[in-house]
Chain A
C-alpha cells in the first residue's frame, strides 16, 4: 500500500548510542518532515525537507541530523542519544507545503 513507511516501530537505546530512524514514501511527495510527540507537548517539528538535497531545521533540531539524497527517503539520525530524546517519532510527507500531510505509523524510542 502506498504511504509513509517508518522503521523500526520500537527501539531501545542506551545513552550515548547513535542510530538512524528510517523513513520512506512512495507517493513522489516533495515535502517530508520529522516530528516528535511527547505527552502534553503535541507534535514538534524536528527537521523538514522541500525536496531532494534540501533540508532545514524545525522547532527542536538539536541532537538530530537529516539528509535527503532521494525524493523517497528521509532518514533521521540521532547522534548521541539522551534520555530527553525518549519520544514517539513520526515521519510525514505531502505533495507540497500546502498539501495534506500523510503520517507514518511512528517509531517509539526509549533512551535509557
Chain B
C-alpha cells in the first residue's frame, strides 16, 4: 500500500527566502503525486501534480516540485516566499496501477517571518 511521509511538521522561513518542503513516498508501481495547500480556515487547493514526463513540475503561485524516483521524493520548492504563503502544505500520492486510493501526508505548516 502506498504511504506518504512529510518529515517536517513545522517550517519557518523569512519572507523573500527560498523554501523547500520535503515529501517521501512509497508505492507499488507508477505513482502520481500532488501538492495541496490549505490556508487557515480554508479548503484545500491544488498547487501542482506529477503523472509522468518531465520530472520538474511547475505549479501555481510560483511553486515547483521535482520527482526523484531514486530517492522516492517529491519535494516542493519556491525561490522566494511571500507572507501570503503561510499555510499548511500536503503531499499526496496515488498508485497508477489498480489501487484507486489517494493518500495524504500529515502536512507541513509553513510560518513566514517578516
Interface residue ranges, A against B (CB under 8 Å)? 31, 33, 35, 40-45, 48, 50, 56, 58-59, 90, 97-98, 100-101, 103-106
B90 in contact with A43 (CB, 8 Å): yes
Q: Check B22 for interface membership: any CB of A closer than 8 A.
A: no
| Chain B interface residue number, banded | 20 to 34
How far in angstroms is the closest Cβ of chain B from A107? 12
CA distance A56 to B101 in the complex (A): 9
Interface residue ranges, B against A (CB under 8 Å)? 6, 9, 32, 34, 36, 43-44, 46, 49, 51, 90, 92, 94, 96, 100-107
How far in angstroms is the closest Cβ of chain A from B109? 10
A104 in contact with B43 (CB, 8 Å): yes
Besides A59-B101, A97-B102, 5 new A-B residue pairs in contact (Cβ under 8 A), listed by A number: A98-B94, A100-B46, A100-B49, A103-B44, A106-B43
Q: Which residues of B contact A58 (CB under 8 A)?
A: 101
Give the secondary structure class of B's interface: strand
B51 in contact with A98 (CB, 8 Å): yes
Chain A residue at minimal CB-CB distance from B44: A103
B106 in contact with A41 (CB, 8 Å): yes
Select which of A31, A40, A42 is within 8 A of B104 by beta carbon: A42
How far in angstroms is the closest Cβ of chain B from A21? 15
A42 in contact with B44 (CB, 8 Å): no
Counting from the closest, the 4 A-B pairs by CB-CB distance are A42-B106, A43-B104, A97-B100, A100-B46
